[in-house]
């Protein structure tokens, strides 16, 4: 039964091109780190949890395996979480296990351990030896789904892996695998068949050579699900996997579904098994015989996982839509109280020291209870929502993003806010319940939102008052019933904002926002009888385990697009591989069923009619539910009659879900795939990944906010992502990369004052659990390209040494020069229309396409900051007035500055969202006056501090220098008092303040209040601020005169002290005779 399987060191299929372009492309080596995505959440509904692993020696540290959101770690009992798996080859997680002998060693099995219609596939097994800081892939790349991992508690090199195997196809790495060398090599110790994998593995805690493994025969396709067969069973080994016996006594025979089992920690002789299609079983003798305790079972599509209590032999928890528990060994089950908690449960951890304390992971995220489920604490900071679809509106000043989620409603929320806290959970709202899918927003009225739940449950949502109106269409009674897809396509006509198209297996049209509907098509599917299709080599009877459960009835419409150029030109795609076209709004339809290189009956996941040419349409086919993970992206230039494959160099392993066409450049396209998003700027001849800021995750849908040129993504497991202003991609031609540096055309900057609704900045006093998604930076963002970063002298020497046969040792002068070398840096210079510099900003040098943002504020000259030089940036005053500005890039290398780019002009605008709006030019002029006063006052204050330090030093010198005139001490006391009086004027009277006396407001406070008030508002300058500035200005000259007088007197006293032989003060050089 053993089969040796050497660890593959690399997975070629993950990076190979499906039809790789052979010629080099100028974009191949261009780094796009500046084109970074921004996650906007939400975390308000979180997402599906697959597994939990708690450190047995430190329960404040635990790991959360998200079904399609990677792995998250907390070290503070779940107060905060960090993603630790983002850069790996998979995002879908089936299980995670901590080595009981070394809790820094983690094992992660990729590919969700469920069989639901939306599960994602993985790429094998991963291991970390440093608590998740780094990972190595250690085999089983073709398992696709891994159910459970067990580490031998007596020998960490021995690990067992339950490889569930492919869900959508036969074969793969499927069975129970064992390593005895920590994952270097693997043996398959239990193999059932090409259709049956191992979903669980358990080790007897008293003897790790006693192994229990559950086998599950299952298969899912677009049209069906079979959750059992004669090969599902429980197996046992007593010799560390050398041999296995199929357990029988009392267990069901014939077709058996998924089996979830557990060993009682209280008495490991007692085993429990929940068996789909049959009931709940118990063994009191380590599996030798079994008794059916009850008919309790759950769905193998989504659940069938049980957890035996470590406190009570007869208590077992069963994961289900509504979690259940038994306290009598399985005879009876009751629901776990879940008030205020999401249902659909998948994972659980029971505190071994407290029976009333446990964690439970479900479709709605992670919950914790300390009172045996009477109340629950939701973890509100896990942004792992699974979005199927995304839509954007045209709201001002910031657009909103909408989408439907897996089991977490349809949601809407802002793309950005004016808050300094960013986007928080309370900014999001529900537009429809259930599982959410396609949403659309009226382009003329952003308050009208169409939101859809599963199987066509469509509502019209009014954002103003929160009302929903159900508007799902139906056929007249007596006609053949409709077949709605789980995710039915919906669109608003680009020609009329009141016209909707919506499709089941037939297309509906409404011209009154869904108040009424008419059918405009016949059944557009192939009308294949799914019950006649073979699965796992046979046609299954109606009595098969879970036959067709949680599966859309085959033969329905799944994609829909109307040409933005020609009204009534509509494209329809079906789940059984057809594209149907009408050019007369449904009066006639033309059917197409063959597409070059695309397997027959492949799911038409997306259609996109071109905005530029009514003859052009794009189609995305997705065949992953037949075990085919290749990308299929097609283009037609004659309305679907003929098709060209434009997949080009997209990775071969990475199903495609969505396509979007740029509204200005017809050659600029985007596709969302199983493992990220790609773009082409040559019509599909070449593709390049946009990966900055985006974890490994499936992109199920794409929308473009045209006003802002934003690319908005629906990720299936990490919420929404936004690439703010992708327009530079339109200008990334070969010529753009010829020079040393390029600034791409700049989008109008938007400057405004951010608000602080919770006080004291993010997160205020709301604690570390308060979730905040990032806003884009305020101001004007510059996207620029630098061909090569400058090299230090050390780097130049090291590069030269690579070509030397005999390395010459650097000279003493060379070594000094390397040590004294100042790191290169980049300076952005902002100028107004008159050519006046108003701001300089410094940043690190670097190559590729990068971004830098000017916040729209004018530089302050009020003080000097040297910390972090040479990358120090000055402080700022208020907003620069609206108008035209320019930016230019310079590079400084070891003190030598050169111009890198020409000046590029752009516009700066203001949000002007206040109730009272002042004159921006007048405000800016006043702020400059305030800043000048600050500059003067800081200079005076610095000089005051210096003179007070000189007085202190001179007093010490005179006291301790023999022969120094003692009468100088009295003069110094007089000067000290004069300086102290000036310090009171500038900084306030500390003596009286300490004694709780009322004191006059200091000049520093007057100016500080004036500056703070005027720098942080657009409502205009107040008279109080003008008066304050006038007060400060009037006294500045008096302070200057006073300090000049005291300074002159100090020079005389100092010279007398030096003449007597006193030590030189700090900053003075020796006097020459």
Tell me phi and psi for residue 316, to 5 degrees.
Answer: -140, 140
Count of Cβ atoms closer than 10 Å to residue 661 Cβ: 22
At residue 12, the pLDDT reads 34
Mean pLDDT of the region 601-617: 99
Q: Is the pLDDT of residue 207 over 50?
A: yes
Q: Is the pLDDT of residue 118 over 60?
A: yes
Q: Is the pLDDT of residue 561 over 70?
A: yes
User: Is residue 169 within 8 Å of residue 194, measured between CB atoms?
Assistant: no
Write the pLDDT tens digit of every residue in 628-666.
Answer: 999 999 999 999 999 999 999 999 999 999 999 999 999
Q: Is the pLDDT of residue 2 over 50?
A: no
848: left (phi over 0), alpha (psi -120 to 50) or beta: left
Write the pLDDT tens digit of every residue in 933-977.
Answer: 999 999 999 999 999 999 999 999 999 999 999 999 999 999 999
Tell me phi and psi for residue 772, to 5 degrees.
Answer: -135, 120
Answer positive or negative: Cα dihedral of 1031, 1032, 1034, 1038.
Answer: positive
Q: What is the full DSSP assignment across 96-163?
A: EEE-TT-TT-EEEEES-SS--TTPPP---EEEESSTTSS-EE-S-TT---EEEEEE-TT-TT-EEEEE
Rounded distance between C-alpha atoms, residue 130 and residue 623, angstroms:
38
At residue 74, the pLDDT reads 99
The three-state DSSP-derived secondary structure of 672-731 is EECCEEEEECCCCCCCEEECCCCCCCCEEEEEEECCCCEEEEEEECCCEEEECCCHHHHH
Mean pLDDT of the region 150-162: 99
Listing from the earlier edge strand, what are the strands of the sheet with 136-137? 93-98, 106-110, 125-128, 136-137
Rounded distance between C-alpha atoms, residue 641 and residue 647, angstroms:
19
Q: Strands 377-378 and 233-237, how do they pair?
A: unpaired
At residue 868, the pLDDT reads 59
Write the pLDDT tens digit of every residue in 1005-1033.
Answer: 999 999 998 888 899 999 999 999 999 99
* 76 CB-contact burial (10 Å; exposed 0-12 / middle 13-18 / buried 19+): exposed
For residue 451, the cross-strand partners are 439, 459
Q: Is the pLDDT of residue 379 over 90?
A: yes
At residue 526, the pLDDT reads 98
* Residue 1031 structure tokens: 């007060």
1051-1059, long-range: CB < 8 A, 24+ apart: 1053/954, 1053/968, 1053/971, 1053/972, 1053/975, 1054/950, 1054/954, 1056/964, 1056/965, 1056/968, 1057/954, 1057/957, 1057/958, 1057/961, 1057/964, 1057/968
Answer positive or negative: Cα dihedral of 102, 76, 43, 660.
Answer: negative
Write the pLDDT tens digit of every residue in 449-459.
Answer: 999 999 999 99
User: Is residue 616 within 8 Å of residue 664, measured between CB atoms?
Assistant: no
Answer positive or negative: Cα dihedral of 518, 520, 525, 531.
Answer: positive
Q: Strands 324-326 and 316-318, how do they pair?
A: antiparallel
Write the pLDDT tens digit of every residue in 896-943.
Answer: 999 999 999 999 999 988 888 889 899 999 999 999 999 999 999 999
Q: Strands 749-751 and 904-910, how do they pair?
A: parallel
Nearest to 824 by CA among 888, 743, 896: 896
Q: How far is CA 596 from CA 80, 599, 627, 629, in A?
A: 50, 8, 19, 17
Buried b (16+ CB within 10 A) or exposed e, 114-141: bbbbbbbbbbbbbbbeebbeebebbbbb
- In three-state secondary structure terms, 530 is helix
Q: Is the pLDDT of residue 13 over 60?
A: no
- The average confidence (pLDDT) of the chain is 95
Q: Is the pLDDT of residue 753 over 70?
A: yes
Rounded distance between C-alpha atoms, residue 449 and residue 462, angstroms:
6
Q: How confident is the model at residue 22 (pLDDT cuts 50, 70, 90)?
A: low
Write the pLDDT tens digit of every residue in 711-746.
Answer: 999 999 999 999 999 999 999 999 999 989 999 999
Q: Is the pLDDT of residue 10 over 50?
A: no
Write the pLDDT tens digit of every residue in 483-533.
Answer: 999 999 999 999 999 999 999 999 999 999 999 999 999 999 999 999 999
Q: How far is CA 795 from CA 393, 614, 900, in A?
A: 50, 55, 21
User: Who's near 479: CB < 8 A, 6+ residues apart?
Assistant: none
Q: Is the pLDDT of residue 162 over 90?
A: yes
pTM exceeding 0.75: yes
870: left (phi over 0), alpha (psi -120 to 50) or beta: alpha
In whole angstroms, what separates CA 522 from the centre of its chain?
42
User: Who's near 74: CB < 8 A, 6+ residues apart?
Assistant: 60, 61, 62, 63, 64, 80, 81, 82
Rounded distance between C-alpha atoms, residue 264 and residue 242, angstroms:
24
Rounded distance between C-alpha atoms, residue 585 and residue 32, angstroms:
42
Determine the number of helices (DSSP H) and then strands (DSSP E) in the chain: 7, 72
Q: What is the full DSSP assignment across 432-454?
A: E-SBEEEEEE-SS-TTEEEEEEG
- In three-state secondary structure terms, 795 is helix
Answer positive or negative: Cα dihedral of 982, 985, 986, 987.
Answer: positive
Listing from the earlier edge strand, what are the strands of the sheet with 82-83? 49-54, 62-66, 70-74, 82-83
């Amino acid at each position: 039964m053993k089969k040796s399987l050497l660890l593959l060191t690399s997975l070629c299929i993950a990076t190979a091109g499906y039809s790789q372009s052979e010629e080099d492309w100028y974009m191949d080596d261009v780094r796009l780190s500046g084109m970074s995505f921004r996650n906007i959440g939400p975390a308000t509904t979180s997402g599906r949890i697959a597994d939990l692993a708690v450190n047995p020696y430190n329960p404040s540290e635990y790991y959360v395996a998200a079904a399609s959101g990677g792995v998250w770690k907390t070290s503070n009992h779940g107060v905060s979480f960090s993603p630790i798996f983002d850069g790996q080859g998979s995002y879908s997680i089936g299980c995670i296990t901590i080595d009981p002998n070394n809790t820094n060693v983690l094992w992660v099995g990729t590919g969700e351990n469920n069989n639901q219609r939306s599960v994602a596939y993985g790429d094998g097994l991963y291991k970390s030896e440093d608590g998740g800081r780094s990972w190595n892939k250690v085999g089983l790349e073709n398992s696709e789904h891994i159910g459970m991992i067990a580490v031998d508690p007596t020998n960490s090199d021995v690990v067992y892996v339950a490889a569930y195997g492919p869900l959508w196809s036969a074969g793969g790495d499927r069975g129970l695998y064992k390593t005895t060398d920590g994952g270097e090599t693997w043996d398959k110790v239990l193999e059932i068949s090409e259709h049956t994998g191992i979903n669980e593995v358990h080790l007897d805690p008293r003897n790790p050579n006693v192994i229990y493994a559950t086998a599950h025969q299952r298969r899912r396709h677009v049209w069906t699900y079979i959750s059992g067969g004669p090969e599902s069973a429980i197996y046992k080994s007593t010799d560390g996997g050398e041999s296995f016996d199929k357990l029988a006594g009392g267990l069901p025979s014939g077709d058996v579904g998924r089996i979830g089992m557990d060993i009682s920690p209280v008495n490991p002789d007692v085993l429990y098994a929940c068996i789909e299609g049959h009931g709940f079983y118990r063994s009191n003798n380590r599996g030798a015989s079994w008794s059916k305790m009850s008919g309790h079972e759950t769905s193998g599509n989504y659940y069938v996982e049980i957890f035996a209590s470590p406190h009570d032999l007869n208590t077992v928890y069963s994961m289900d839509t509504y979690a259940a528990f038994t306290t009598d060994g399985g005879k009876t089950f009751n629901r776990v109280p879940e008030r205020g908690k999401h249902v659909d449960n998948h994972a659980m951890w029971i505190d071994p020291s407290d029976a009333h304390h446990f964690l439970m992971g479900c479709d709605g995220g992670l919950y914790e209870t300390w009172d045996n489920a009477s109340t629950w604490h939701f973890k509100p900071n896990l942004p792992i929502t699974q979005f199927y679809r995304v839509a954007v509106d045209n709201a001002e000043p910031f657009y909103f993003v909408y989408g439907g989620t897996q089991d977490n409603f349809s949601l809407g929320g802002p793309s950005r806010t004016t808050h300094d806290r960013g986007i928080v959970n309370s900014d999001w709202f529900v537009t429809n319940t259930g599982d959410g899918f396609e949403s659309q927003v009226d382009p003329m009225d952003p308050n009208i939102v169409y939101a859809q739940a599963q199987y066509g449950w469509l509502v019209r949502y009014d954002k103003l008052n929160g009302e929903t109106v159900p508007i799902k269409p139906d056929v007249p009674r007596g006609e053949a019933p409709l077949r709605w897809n789980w995710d039915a396509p919906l669109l608003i006509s680009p020609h009329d904002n009141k016209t909707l198209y919506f499709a089941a297996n037939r297309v509906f049209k409404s011209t009154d926002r869904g108040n009424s509907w008419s059918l405009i098509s016949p059944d557009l599917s192939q009308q294949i009888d799914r019950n006649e299709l073979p699965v796992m080599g046979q046609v299954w009877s109606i009595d098969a385990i879970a036959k067709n459960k949680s599966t859309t009835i085959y033969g329905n419409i799944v994609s829909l697009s109307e040409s933005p150029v020609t009204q009534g030109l509509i494209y329809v795609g079906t789940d059984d591989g057809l594209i149907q076209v009408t050019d007369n709004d449904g009066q006639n339809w033309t059917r197409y069923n063959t597409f070059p290189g695309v397997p027959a009956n492949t799911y038409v996941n997306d259609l996109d009619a071109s905005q530029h040419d009514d003859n052009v349409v794009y189609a995305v086919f997705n065949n992953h539910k037949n075990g085919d993970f290749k990308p299929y992206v097609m283009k037609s230039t004659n309305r679907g009659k003929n098709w060209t494959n434009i997949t080009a160099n997209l990775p071969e392993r990475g199903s495609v879900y969505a396509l979007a066409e740029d509204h200005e450049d017809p050659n600029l396209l985007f596709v969302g795939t199983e493992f990220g998003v790609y773009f082409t700027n040559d019509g599909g001849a070449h593709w390049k990944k946009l990966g900055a800021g985006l974890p490994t995750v499936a992109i199920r849908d794409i929308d473009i906010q045209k006003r802002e040129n934003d690319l908005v993504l629906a990720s299936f497991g990490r919420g929404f992502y936004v690439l703010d202003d992708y327009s530079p991609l339109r200008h990334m031609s070969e010529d753009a990369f010829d020079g040393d540096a390029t600034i791409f055309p700049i989008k109008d900057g938007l400057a405004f004052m951010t608000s602080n609704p919770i006080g004291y900045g993010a997160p205020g006093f709301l604690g570390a659990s308060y979730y905040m998604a990032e806003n884009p930076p305020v101001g004007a963002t510059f996207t620029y390209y630098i061909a090569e970063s400058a090299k230090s002298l050390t780097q130049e020497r090291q590069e030269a040494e690579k070509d030397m046969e005999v390395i010459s040792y650097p000279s003493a002068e060379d070594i000094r020069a390397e040590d004294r070398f100042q790191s290169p840096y980049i300076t952005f210079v902002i100028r107004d229309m008159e050519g006046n510099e108003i701001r300089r900003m410094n940043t690190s040098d670097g190559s590729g396409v990068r971004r830098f943002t000017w916040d729209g504020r004018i530089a302050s000259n009020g003080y000097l900051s040297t910390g972090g030089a040479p990358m120090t940036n000055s402080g700022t005053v208020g907003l620069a007035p609206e108008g035209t500005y320019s930016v230019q890039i310079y590079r400084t290398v070891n003190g030598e500055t050169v111009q890198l780019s020409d000046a590029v002009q752009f516009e700066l605008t203001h949000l002007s969202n206040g109730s009272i709006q002042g004159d921006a030019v007048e405000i800016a002029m006043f702020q400059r006056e305030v800043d000048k006063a600050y500059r003067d006052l800081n200079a005076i204050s610095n000089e005051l501090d210096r003179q007070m330090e000189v007085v202190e030093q001179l007093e010490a010198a005179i006291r301790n220098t023999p022969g120094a005139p003692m009468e100088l001490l009295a003069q110094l006391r007089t000067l000290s008092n004069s300086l102290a009086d000036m310090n009171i004027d500038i900084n306030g009277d500390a003596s009286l303040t300490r004694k709780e006396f009322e004191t006059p407001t200091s000049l520093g406070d007057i100016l500080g209040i004036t500056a703070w008030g005027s720098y942080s508002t657009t409502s205009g300058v107040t008279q109080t601020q003008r008066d304050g500035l006038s007060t400060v200005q009037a006294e500045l000259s008096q302070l200057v005169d006073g300090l000049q007088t005291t300074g002159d007197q100090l020079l005389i006293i100092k010279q007398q002290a030096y003449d007597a032989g006193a030590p030189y003060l700090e900053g003075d050089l020796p006097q020459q005779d």
